[in-house]
Structure 1
Amino acid sequence: MKDFTTISDDRILYKGNYFFIIEDGFPVSPGHLLIISNEVRKDFFELNEEEKNNLPKMIEKAKELILAKYQPDAYNIGMNCGVDAGQTVFHFHCHIIPRYTGDMENPRGGVRHVIPTKGSY
């Protein structure tokens, strides 16, 4: 998939002026959501000012949607910007990943572990 323009309307949980929210097709935890830009933008750095200003509101909306069905203990919020960061779909999307006590043996460092040997401190 090169972008999210073919997402069917029945997958959309919420649609705003700049973004829409869907369940991740390959969730890493129950309730894993994606916030996707309505306009195709390659990554966060291509969002315009209005989009960047609206993103925190959409993160809060995603949390609200998650809490309607799940009871997570924490969250990871992340974006992959570029091939070397792991981006595979070049249409802005932000992962909202609910975390649950015990889902990892030692979650300390969180997203720092995207480079496994460098995450510990």
Structure 2
Amino acid sequence: MAESRDTCPFCSIDPKRWIASSDAAIAFLDGFPIAEHHTLVIPQRHVASLFDLDVSEQAEVWRLASEVRHRLADEFGIEAFNIGVNDGVPAGQTVLHAHVHVIPRVTGDSDDPRGGIRWVIPDKARYW
């Protein structure tokens, strides 16, 4: 069952935590980051899936994700990123407010980064 706007942890994020925003989307640092500067980009409208948004809202979420990625690259010299969406509980979504993960990656943060997001199902990740 989807969280309501009243109980959604993303809908109550203090605007002081926002690192970027627009009329349709907000970006803020992940509260449980897997890498330094791990950022979430969410639509301002409370929906469980990005695909519940209209096309212009989806475009704005992705535009802000791109802005965040470029800003992190410029400010911190980050050269690589994983950009990801967990769309639905079986896909690992734990907060049922649509969001895009912008996860900086650096050389050496993983013994073997090949396969990237394919590791969500470890038995199928190694295809080489």
Q: TM-score range by the shorter chain?
A: over 0.9
Which residues of 2 match residues 9-28 of structure 1 at below 5 A? 9-28=15-34
Question: Where do 4+ consecutive residues of structure 1 move more than 4 Å?
Answer: none
Asked if structure 1 preserves the Cα contact closer than 8 Å seen for 2:28 and 2:41, the reply is: yes
Among candidates 91, 108, 113, match of residue 85 of structure 1: 91
CA distance in 1, matches of 2:9, 2:90: 18
Aligned length: 121
Among candidates 114, 118, 122, match of residue 116 of structure 1: 122
CA distance in 1, matches of 2:122, 2:79: 23
Q: Which region of structure 1 is more displaced relative to structure 2, 100-109 or 47-56?
A: 47-56
Which residues of 2 match residues 2-81 of structure 1 at below 5 A? 2-81=8-87
Q: 1:113 Cα shift?
A: 0.5
Gaps of 5+ in 1: none
Q: 1:54 Cα shift?
A: 2.0
Q: TM-score, length-normalised on structure 1? A: 0.92
Q: Secondary structure at the match of 1:36?
A: strand
The answer for the alignment partner of 1:100 in structure 2 is 106
Q: TM-score, length-normalised on structure 2? A: 0.88
| Percent of residue pairs bearing the same amino acid type | 36
Asked if structure 1 preserves the Cα contact closer than 8 Å seen for 2:49 and 2:98, the reply is: yes
